[in-house]
Amino acid sequence: MKFTTPANRNPIDRLKVVGQSTQRIDGPLKTTGTAPYAYEQNDAAPGAAYGYIVGAAIAKGRIGSIDVTRARAAPGVLGIVTADNAGKVGNGDFYTARALAGPDIQHYHQAVALVVAETFEQARAAAQLVRVQYVQADGAYDLAKAKEKPPRRQPLQQKQPRDTAIGDFEAAYAAAPVKLDATYTTPDHAHTMLEPHATIAAWDGDRLTLWTAIQIVSWGTRDMAKILGIRKENIRIVSPYIGGGFGGKGSVLADAVLAALAARQLGRPVKVALQRPLMFNNTTHRAATIQRIRIATDKAGRITAIGHESWSGNLGDNPESATAPTRLLYAGANRMTRLRVAHLDLPEANAMRAPGETPGMMALEIAMDEMAEKLGLDPVAFRILNDTQVDPESPSRPFSQRQLVECLRSGAEHFGWERRAARPGMRRDGRWLVGMGVASAIRGAQVQKSAASVRLDARGVITVETDMTDIGTGTYTILAQTAAEMMGVGLDRVVVRLGDSTFPPGAGSGGQFGAASSTAGVYAACVKLRAMAAQRLGLDGANVEFLGGRVRAGGTSKPLTDAAVGGDLVAQDTMEYGDLNKRFAQQTFAAHFVEVGVDAETGEIRVRRMLAVCAAGRIINPLAARSQIIGGMTMGAGAALMEELVVDKRAGFFVNHDMASYEVPVHADIPHQDVIFLDEADPTIGPLKAKGVGELGISGVPAAIANAVYDATGIRVREYPITLDKLLDRLPPIG
């Protein structure tokens, strides 16, 4: 099926199942510990040996020699994989860094060996006996020093252009009566998902099966085929449950590649889970940025010029696309954005929840508050004044839906914005300085080609199959809701099977495109299944209705189960898309409001309450969507107040590579969160008129917190995270 024109009314619009708050159907499995994650697929691959990765102890250089004599002789050891015996190991399309070092070292903790033994403890003990002699080389580890140097290779093709220019930014900026020129910095961030990167690999002749934690299964088969030099058709990936990803499990990484190499070498299944320190330095992260923002307005506060320049570093040539929100969020005739990437010999930077928008709005939305203060305008009013209903870079291209103003107004009303003090540092609650902050949010509403198959059996059960994954977002449930709505049955009559590359290729989990894309694929397959069922029942397919387990047309009603009496009905289809994304700017929007307390003596910051008002198309499952938003809000609080991968700029690695020293928020840090979804259905996105929400929840949140801290204290911090040492010597006098 191809989606080329805006959706009309269809069976989804009945909203008997879709649009209803529904408990996750996979919830009982996860809460009882019976959902098999990658490392726990012991029944599927019995007798698996255990692998333990030895990570490089330098960040730049090469391996002089590896002595594995003592390790190979250790109790239980079955084999040791190094570059010397692994054979040719290539690169996939998604990641730049190689899974196995040798002879060159690209970054700290890059895998140099995998020790395999009968037990995990034996593998770990033997790994300590591997002796590696390194030849160290000088590397680049400091973004501030490296940012003006060009990358070592030509930039890769990007969906977002590196530079944009509309009008004459420099002239308009110079001529404006009110302007801001400020620089903001964001640090490197870690995904810190609960489940480690983990894989069990097994070979059957020349066929490889991987039970692995991965977000986009089709990328994994593609990349593993390129890395190992085998046919993609000979690879099966199974990933039914994933314990968090946030972009960090997009495709196959060292755990999968080394497990596959070891299993081939030993002729037996091998399981590998990355130890927690390697998750910080061996895998990917969100790149640090240095961002310069310039905004100019007329005396009334209308933006006349807006410019955003961002520098980030990477092992490869992909920049953190921090300028993305500035291109679409506010009006302004004269515009400029520039993305620059410097080569750094740190671990690879890649996608992390709302890549681009998260760090971009950490800067842009503070700058908007600073401009509002210069103009003497309320921050909410300033944002509303500069709203636009068309793409500011292409005014002939309207937004498909844009309710940012309503998000801001509704949020201000619900949050009690009118109680905000006229000047910073004026509100107190005992020892606490109290402040409120706001930030707009924008995140793309992408859709991707996605396929599914649906089967109706004689019991009236609908089975959905697609290689789409569920990374804790509720995919099982929303796909079941889609099939139940389309086929007119209850959720108890739907079975969903996910995360297997033998199933039709779904969109995968990432980029906020998973929900809208995968449900559209199920919709397309159900359209075919409805037609097949109607034909077998002898009913007119053009006017047929599926409801309550029955099929009705022209006054005739028959049980749906009768359609499968002669054998199961199976339909498969793929939802593909035309050019609606070119004709319309398709985005999601939100307004985030935060209240904080800052201890007047110590500078300790406490988030008191948070509110997100979101406009994100039809919400398929409000309960699951709310969970996605509050999860994003919590990650935003971490980015604002505590998360920072600290770089050792002499040795080139992230120092705080564990969960004791890389701090993330806990429940006590986030006492109260509210989420409001505005009524919206976007017919240009797909037949469900739904958009993703998973990344909208984090976008804008750190800046809302930063703005609240400023409102509480009068201290403007432009360098994240906002820790108490950046406040202590500037706090208002006590008493």
Residues 221 and 508: their CA atoms lie apart, in Å, by 13
CB 195 within 8 A of CB 213: yes
Query: Which helix (DSSP H) or strand (DSSP E) does residue 408 occupy?
Result: helix 404-415
Ordered DSSP codes for 248-264: TTSS--HHHHHHHHHHH
C-alpha to C-alpha distances, 325 to 91, 131, 723, nearest whole angstrom: 31, 48, 26
Query: Which helix (DSSP H) or strand (DSSP E) does residue 181 occupy?
Result: strand 178-186
Q: What burial class does residue 540 get, using C-beta atoms within 10 Å of its C-beta: 0-12 exposed, 13-18 middle, 19+ buried? A: exposed
Q: Which of 291, 288, 345 lies closest to 316, judged by CA? A: 345
Task: Compute the CA torsion angle 615, 619, 621, 625 (nearest 10 deg).
Answer: -20
Task: Compute the CA torsion angle 165, 168, 174, 177 (nearest 10 deg).
Answer: -100
Q: Which of 427, 468, 362, 469 lies closest to 698, judged by CA? A: 362
Handedness of CA 475, 480, 481, 485 (dihedral sign): positive
CB 361 within 8 A of CB 699: yes
Catalytic residue, chosen from 309, 418, 695, 719, is: 695
In the sheet with 545-547, reading across from the earlier edge strand, the strands are 545-547, 550-553, 556-559
Residues 304 and 151: their CA atoms lie apart, in Å, by 33
CB 158 within 8 A of CB 354: no
Q: What burial class does residue 492 get, using C-beta atoms within 10 Å of its C-beta: 0-12 exposed, 13-18 middle, 19+ buried? A: exposed
Q: CB 681: neighbour CB atoms within 10 A?
A: 18
Residues 323 and 161: their CA atoms lie apart, in Å, by 10
Residues 604 and 731: their CA atoms lie apart, in Å, by 11
Q: Which of 430, 726, 716, 734 lies closest to 597, judged by CA? A: 430
CB 186 within 8 A of CB 55: no
3-state SS track over 306-352: EEEEEEEEECCCCCCCCCCHHHCCCCCCEEEEEEEEEECCCCCECCC
CB 693 within 8 A of CB 631: no
Peptide bond into 240 cis (omega under 30): no
CB 323 within 8 A of CB 338: yes
Ordered DSSP codes for 707-725: HHHHHHHS----BSS--GG
Active site residue 643: no
Residues 661 and 646: their CA atoms lie apart, in Å, by 10
Query: Which phi and psi (to 5°) does residue 275 adopt?
Result: -65, 150
Residues 622 and 615: their CA atoms lie apart, in Å, by 12
Handedness of CA 491, 495, 498, 504 (dihedral sign): negative
Strands 61-67 and 131-136: antiparallel
Query: Which helix (DSSP H) or strand (DSSP E) does residue 432 occupy?
Result: strand 432-444
Query: Which phi and psi (to 5°) does residue 656 adopt?
Result: -90, 70
Query: Which helix (DSSP H) or strand (DSSP E) does residue 185 occupy?
Result: strand 178-186
Residues 207 and 226: their CA atoms lie apart, in Å, by 15
Residues with catalytic function: 695
